[in-house]
Chains A and B, each alone.
Chain A
Amino acid sequence: MTDDPALFEIIEQYLKGALSPEDTRRLEARAAADPVVAAQIDRQKLERDAMEVILENDLRREMSQWSAERKQSLLSPVPRTAAKERRLPPAIAGARRQTFRWAVAAGVALLSVFGLWRLTDRIRPAPSVAAVPRPPAVRPDTPASVSVEQTIPDAKRPAVAGNQGAGHVALPEVPADHFRKMTPEPSPVVSPNDRLVDIAETAYQNNPPDLEGGGVRGGENAAARSAVGSAWDRKDYRAVIAELKNTPVDAGHFSLVEMLAHAYFQSKQYARATPLFEQLLGWSGSKSREKMQWYLLLCYLTDHERRQKDFDALARQIIAEPRHGYNLECRNILEQTNQKTK
């Protein structure tokens, strides 16, 4: 494409952002002095953009197909147990299945040992302590003791692998067919309430509060406020709670109570967060009402068994307002909740 293959390759690396800073400066100086080189860069950039457009068009076609598949799957009944697993890549689903199987196997083994022990206990006269059969010792590497967390790759943030063009995210290698096989499998036994808590937490994390630690600094008792603000920024919610738990719960301390409520939620102390959000909703003006309704709804969801009526009433309220800021999220929550509680 150019008479100089070396220049072509240098420009390719330049456009990928993979050229060293020194070589980049050298090429740019050369292009500034030589219009032929500048035009060559333009042409290669254009070709690379064209290739991106090819991929984009291809992806748009795929998305249309995925949308159609999604609509189709919504119309046809799906086994409820399969719904959650289907969304997960097979490695994760596999890890859960594996853990579940080991857990069942371990449970059966323990029950058998216990049953045998009870049986022998009834048939024979009470033996000496030394004669009582003991359950087999569990070795540290016994699969039954392996948690789900241990069977999946560490969820730490990926390390930056330097400026190497594509593929900066340092993560475990993924086999080519990794995401292809989304075969529905029975999901592990998780109590309905755990699932609802999971839904609430996910919804919360997807719409985190837009509080900033800095927002509570200043004003009276600036030092204490500054400590809370720093703790919030560090996501040290225990420290936030420790600082704020004695805050008077009144409308005059709205932002601090709000922060405390969120700190409780983030620390999974939902039962403490709920009454605070109820209070906050009561004090809210039109601006913060929608937010408080949403977080209160999530609190109710974490205690669905007892607060179902409150949850339903609040959800109905939100759904009834098409322009409510959390209308869509609420619909989504209801859809997921209905699947999990049926």
Chain B
Amino acid sequence: MESQKLSADYEAARAIADGGDARKDALKYFFNHPTLKTTVLAYVQRNGGDLKDGEDIFQDALIYFDRALRTGQFEGKSAPATFFIGVAKWRWISSRRKNRRTIPPEAFAGEETDSVEVLAIEHERRELIDTVLSKLGDRCREILGWYKLSYSMEEIAEKMGLSGPEMAKKNAYECRKKFRDYVVARPEYAAALRAGSAFLH
């Protein structure tokens, strides 16, 4: 029975990593996983949080889990559920550190989740991104979402009802440019957003 669960977990993990149409159902599978949530809630409660903290951490963990699988941060050194719980622990520890609370050293063993830290988007940077994204419109956000999930231009064209891949490419280009122009036109944004830059000069 345990191997069946493991196999199902691996299949769901694969579907998320592929980023295709099965991704959302696979995410839902982990969201409704019979034991993941309980384990995360219990961990948070045992380490100084309450139920609300636990719920927040569980949702954050699913977001990072999704991101880690799609970007290849999960290399299969542990079972997907173990990795998920590791991500949740890391998230809880990070949030505790941020609030300058004491962390017992035994509360967290890094393991495979060490690499997840690079996926974090600083809160301030994220808020600014949200502000800029709200100026883009639903259609642009949708196209960029498909693009990020590595859908081909043919697939994006089909999903968006566009005439063909060239048109999809043009749309994606324009949406990205619109985002960039908005940031570039506001130097105060550019400076704050550069704080989380990939390349530190």
Query: How many angstroms between the C-alpha atoms of A54 and B74 in the bound complex?
Result: 21
Known contacts A53-B129, A59-B66, A206-B35; decide if A168 and B1 are in contact (CB<8 Å): no
Which residues of A sit under 8 angstroms from B201, Cβ to Cβ?
A: 31-32, 35, 38
Whether A49 pairs with B10 at a CB distance below 8 angstroms is no
A137 at the interface (CB under 8 A from B): no
Query: How many angstroms between the C-alpha atoms of A254 and B130 in the bound complex?
Result: 54
A-B contact pairs, 22 of them (CB 8 A): A28-B199, A31-B199, A45-B197, A50-B129, A54-B148, A57-B133, A63-B59, A87-B34, A152-B7, A157-B76, A166-B72, A167-B14, A168-B75, A169-B14, A169-B75, A171-B10, A174-B15, A174-B22, A177-B22, A178-B25, A179-B22, A203-B35
Whether A51 pairs with B147 at a CB distance below 8 angstroms is yes
Known contacts A45-B197, A160-B75; decide if A172 and B147 are in contact (CB<8 Å): no
Whether A332 pairs with B4 at a CB distance below 8 angstroms is no
Q: For residue B15, which residue of chain A has the nearest CB?
A: A174
- Residue among B4, B85, B180 facing the most chain A CB atoms (10 A cut-off): B4
Query: How many angstroms between the C-alpha atoms of A327 and B43 in the bound complex?
Result: 11
A159 at the interface (CB under 8 A from B): yes
Query: How many angstroms between the C-alpha atoms of A169 and B71 in the bound complex?
Result: 11
Whether A47 pairs with B176 at a CB distance below 8 angstroms is yes
Whether A206 pairs with B199 at a CB distance below 8 angstroms is no
A220 at the interface (CB under 8 A from B): no
Q: For residue B132, which residue of chain A has the nearest CB?
A: A50
Known A159-B76, A179-B15; further 14 A-B contacts with Cβ < 8 A: A17-B71, A45-B198, A46-B183, A53-B126, A87-B33, A152-B3, A153-B7, A155-B3, A155-B7, A169-B76, A179-B26, A180-B22, A325-B46, A327-B45
Known contacts A1-B180, A326-B42; decide if A175 and B63 are in contact (CB<8 Å): no
Whether B199 pairs with A42 at a CB distance below 8 angstroms is yes
Selected from A38, A87, A169, A175, the residue in CB contact (under 8 A) with B13 is A169
Interface bits A204-223 vs B (CB < 8 Å: 1, else 0) = 01110010000000000000
Query: How many angstroms between the C-alpha atoms of A153 and B9 in the bound complex?
Result: 12
A313 at the interface (CB under 8 A from B): no
- Chain A, interface size: which category? 35 or more
Interface residues of A in 125-173 (CB under 8 A from B): 148-149, 152-155, 157-160, 163-173
Which residues of A sit under 8 angstroms from B11, Cβ to Cβ?
A: 89, 91, 153, 171-172, 174, 178
A114 at the interface (CB under 8 A from B): no
Query: How many angstroms between the C-alpha atoms of A70 and B34 in the bound complex?
Result: 12
B-side interface residues toward A, CB under 8 Å?
A: 1-8, 10-15, 17-22, 24-29, 31-35, 38-39, 41-42, 45-46, 59, 62-63, 66-67, 69-72, 74-77, 79, 81, 85, 106, 121, 125-126, 129-130, 132-133, 141, 144-145, 147-150, 173, 176-177, 179-180, 183-184, 193-194, 196-199, 201
Interface residues of A in 51-69 (CB under 8 A from B): 51-60, 62-63, 66
Query: How many angstroms between the C-alpha atoms of A179 and B20 in the bound complex?
Result: 12
Whether A171 pairs with B13 at a CB distance below 8 angstroms is yes
Query: How many angstroms between the C-alpha atoms of A16 and B118 in the bound complex?
Result: 12
Q: For residue B194, which residue of chain A has the nearest CB?
A: A42
Q: For residue B81, which residue of chain A has the nearest CB?
A: A206
Is chain A's interface secondary structure helix, strand, loop, or mixed overall?
A: helix
Q: For residue A15, which residue of chain B has the nearest CB?
A: B198
Q: For residue B126, which residue of chain A has the nearest CB?
A: A53
* Chain B min CB distance to A175 (Å): 7
Query: How many angstroms between the C-alpha atoms of A336 and B38 in the bound complex?
Result: 12
Whether A89 pairs with B199 at a CB distance below 8 angstroms is no
Whether B22 pairs with A329 at a CB distance below 8 angstroms is no
Whether A328 pairs with B45 at a CB distance below 8 angstroms is yes
A41 at the interface (CB under 8 A from B): yes
Whether B31 pairs with A58 at a CB distance below 8 angstroms is no
Whether B7 pairs with A54 at a CB distance below 8 angstroms is no
Which residues of A sit under 8 angstroms from B66, Cβ to Cβ?
A: 55, 59
- Residue among B126, B150, B173, B199 facing the most chain A CB atoms (10 A cut-off): B199
Query: How many angstroms between the C-alpha atoms of A270 and B2 in the bound complex?
Result: 17
A43 at the interface (CB under 8 A from B): yes
Interface bits A306-341 vs B (CB < 8 Å: 1, else 0) = 000000000000000000011111001000100000
